[in-house]
Amino acid sequence: MRDSAWIGIDFGTSGCRVCAIDKSASIIAQTEQSFPASSKSYPSPQQQSQFLFNTLKTLLSQLSELDIDSISIDATSGSVMLCDFDGHPLSEMLMYNDQQAIEASEDIAKLAPAESAANGPSSGLAKLVYLQRLFALPANYFLLHQADWLAIQLGAKPGFTDYNNALKSGFDVTNNCWPDWLSALTPLHVLPQVVTPGTVIGELSTSVIKALGLKQSTPPLIKAGTTDSLASFIATGANKIGDAVTSLGSTLVLKLVCQSPVFDAKRGIYSHKIGNRWLCGGASNSGGVVLRHYFSDEQLVALSQKIDLQMPVEDYYPLLKPGERFPIADPDSPPRMHPRPAEDHLFLYGLLSGIARIEKAGYECLQQLSKTPLTSIRSVGGGAKNAVWTQLRQSLIDVPFKPVQHTDTAYGSALLAKDGLKLFQ
Ligand code: ADP
C-alpha cells in the first residue's frame, strides 16, 4: 500500500501557496506562485482557478509515489462572488479590501446587531447586497466565499461554506444559524449551508484528477476550509484556552483562544469559533508600519543591537496618523512619538517599547472581556525575529513565550486536511 499525503492550499493577498504533509504532520513538499507584480488587481476567479491548478500540479509532481488523502483550502476572508447552482460565476469576485458596498453597509447597519461582523462595507454580506442591487440575477444562485469558489474548482458541490468564512457574511456562530434579520436584506436560499471547517464537502472530480495527472484508485477528499487568518493561527501550534498569538507584521494583531466569544464592534474585536473554543482577536493601528516609516529592515536589526534594556525609555504611542481602534477605540487618538532623541537607537527603543505596551494593554483587554487568563504567547510576523524586542515584550508580559511550529499558512490548511473535524472539536 502506498503512503498518504494531505494537502493545504493558501490563497492569500499576494499569491497561492501549497503544502503537503505526511501522517506525522511533517512537511514533505511545498511550493508557491506569487501573483504577477505588474497586475494592478487581484486575479479574477478564472485566473485564481488557473493559479490553483498550476501550483497544485507543481506540488503533485513531487508526490508521485504517494496517495493524496484530503485537501483543504484557506483564502482571504470577506472576498465573495455569486454563482449559479452548477457553480458557474454570475459575478466578479469582490475582494476582501473592496469598499464599494458602502450604501449596502448602511442598510445592514439598520438591521444587524452592532457587534455583527457583517457590519462595514468590506463584509461579505455588504458585498452580497451590493451585487444583488447591481444587476438582475436569476431566481436561484449562491453566495460563495473565495475558499468555496476554489473548492468547487476541485469538485466540491456549490452551496456549502465553513463557519469561519461565513462570519463576515452575517452567520450567527453563537446560535449556529443564519439570523432572521437577514431576510429583510437577501433571499435566504442564496446563503450557503454552513459546516464546521474540516467537514468533508466532496471529492476531487474525475476531470480534475485527470487534469492533475493523479494515479490513485480512491479520489482525494475535499474538506471545508477556513479563512487565511485562522489557517495561519492553526499553523502556529496554539490551540489551548489561554494560548495567544501576537502578529508583529505591518499592524499589531492579537489573538487569544478563549472560553467565551467577545464581539465589540467599537474596538474591532470579534471572535472566530474553533469547535467549543473561540479565537478572540483585535488589531491596533500601531505596529511594524510605524517602524518601517522610520527605518529599513537592515537598520532595525543594527539599531536593535545597540539598545540597552536597562536604560529608561520614552513613553510613546506609535501611530502614523491620529486614530486608534484597539485596545482603545478613539478615532482622534493622537500619535505620541516626541521628544525624539538624537540617537536613532533610542528613538527605536521608544517605538518598540510603545508597541509592546499596546500589546500588553491589548491582552489585558481581551482577558477581561473574555474572562480567559492568558497563559502563553507565540509571535509571528516580521518583528518576531527581533530578539531584543522579544526580551522587552517578555519583561512586560509575564507568560511563557513559546516557539512557533510553522509560520506558513498553507501548513495550517494541510493540518485541517489531515485532522479535519478533530481540530474543531
Ligand atoms: P505584513 O505581512 O503584515 O506586511 P510582515 O510579517 O512581512 O508584515 O512584517 C513586516 C514588518 O516587520 C515591517 O513593518 C517591518 O518594519 C517589521 N520588521 C522587519 N524586521 C524587523 C525587525 N528586525 N525588528 C522589528 N520589526 C521588523
Predicted confidence (pLDDT) at residue 2 exceeds the cutoff of 90 = no
State residue 38's pLDDT score: 81
| Structure confidence at residue 144 (pLDDT) | 97
Cell numbers linked to 413: 490548511
Nearest to 186 by CA among 80, 301, 88, 108: 108
Atom number, ligand 1, closest to the C-alpha of residue 289: 14
Please tell me whether residues 215 and 332 are part of one structural domain. no
Residues 353 and 225 in one domain: no
CB 281 within 8 A of CB 255: yes
Which residue, by CA, sits nearest to atom 15 of ligand 1? 288
Domain total in the chain: 2
Residue 380, H or E segment: strand 376-380
Does one domain contain both 362 and 417? no
| Ligand 1 shell residues, CB under 6 Å | 249-250, 288-289, 291-292, 297, 300-301, 381-383, 385-386, 389
Q: Are residues 150 and 295 in the same domain?
A: no
Q: Is the pLDDT of residue 265 over 90?
A: no
Q: How many angstroms is it from 187 CA to the middle of ligand 1? A: 43
Whether the predicted pLDDT of 415 surpasses 90 = yes
Among the ranges given (255-269, 364-378, 395-409), the one the predictor scored with the smallest mean pLDDT? 255-269
Both 123 and 252 in a single domain? no
Residue 80 CA, ligand 1 centroid: distance in Å: 29
Which atom of ligand 1 has the smallest separation from the CA of 251?
3
- As a whole number, the mean pLDDT across the chain is 96
Report CA(288)–ligand 1 centroid distance (Å).
Answer: 5
Residue 264 CA to residue 282 CA, distance in Å, equals: 9
Distance 385 CA to ligand 1 centre (A): 9
Query: How far away, in angstroms, is 304 Cα from ligand 1 center?
Result: 13
Q: Would the pLDDT of 138 be above 80?
A: yes
167 and 255: one domain? no
Write out pLDDT tens, residues 314-329: 999 999 999 999 999 9
Which residue has its alpha carbon closest to ligand 1 atom 21? 383
Q: Is 64 helix (H, G, I), strand (E, B) or coil?
A: coil
Residue nearest to atom 19 of ligand 1 (CA): 382
How far, in Å, is the centroid of ligand 1 from the Cα of 250?
6
* Full domain range(s) for residue 155: 4-230+409-424
Strand partners, 308: none
- The string of DSSP codes covering 97-114 is T---THHHHHHHHHHS-T
Q: Among 112-116, 350-354, 361-365, whose mean pLDDT is lowest?
A: 112-116
Judge if 413 and 398 occupy the same domain.
no
* pLDDT higher than 90, residue 37: no
Average pLDDT over residues 142-154: 98
pLDDT for the residue 213:
94
Write down the pLDDT at residue 425: 84
- Same-domain check for residues 168 and 243: no
pLDDT of residue 266: 83
Rounded CA-CA distance 7/416 in Å is 9
Mutation choice for ligand 1 from 17, 294, 300, CB with most ligand atoms inside 8 A: 300
143 and 23 co-located in one domain: yes
Q: Please tell me the distance between residue 355's alpha carbon and the centre of ligand 1 in angstroms.
A: 13
Nearest CA to ligand 1 atom 13: 288
HSE on the CB side for 203, CA within 13 Å?
Answer: 10
Burial string for 309-347 (b: 16+ CB within 10 Å, else e) reads eeeebbebbbbeeeebbbbebeeeeebebeeeeeeebbb
Q: With pLDDT > 70 as the criterion, what percentage of the chain qualifies? A: 100
The cell for 387 is 530578539
CA distance linking residue 94 with residue 134, whole number of Å: 13
Q: What is the pLDDT of residues 82-93, one digit of tens each?
A: 999 999 999 999
Assign 208 a pLDDT band (cuts: 50, 70, 90). very high
When pLDDT is cut at 50, 70 and 90, the band that residue 303 belongs to is very high
SS3 of the chain: helix, strand, coil, percent, to 5: 35, 25, 40
Let me know whether 14 and 109 are in one domain: yes
Sign of CA dihedral 36, 39, 43, 46: negative
Residue 1 has pLDDT above 90, yes or no: no
- Same domain, residue pair 202 and 133: yes
Question: What is the predicted pLDDT for the residue at 14?
Answer: 87
- Which range (11-20, 32-41, 412-421) has the least confidence? 32-41
**Ligand 1 atom 14, closest CA:** 288
Q: List the CATH number of the domain containing 174.
A: 3.30.420.40
- Residue 64's pLDDT band (boundaries 50, 70, 90)? confident
| Angle subtended at Cα 268 by Cα 175 and Cα 331, rounded to the nearest 5 degrees | 150
pLDDT at 123: 95
324 forms bridges with which residues in the sheet? Answer: 330
Classify 247 as helix, strand or coil.
strand
pLDDT of residue 40: 81
Task: Tell which one of 250, 251, 353, 380 to mutate to probe ligand 1, the residue whose CB is within 8 A of the most ligand atoms.
Answer: 250
Nearest C-alpha to atom 26 of ligand 1 is from which residue? 383
Task: Give 38 or 216, the one with higher predicted confidence.
Answer: 216
> Are 204 and 253 part of one and the same domain?
no
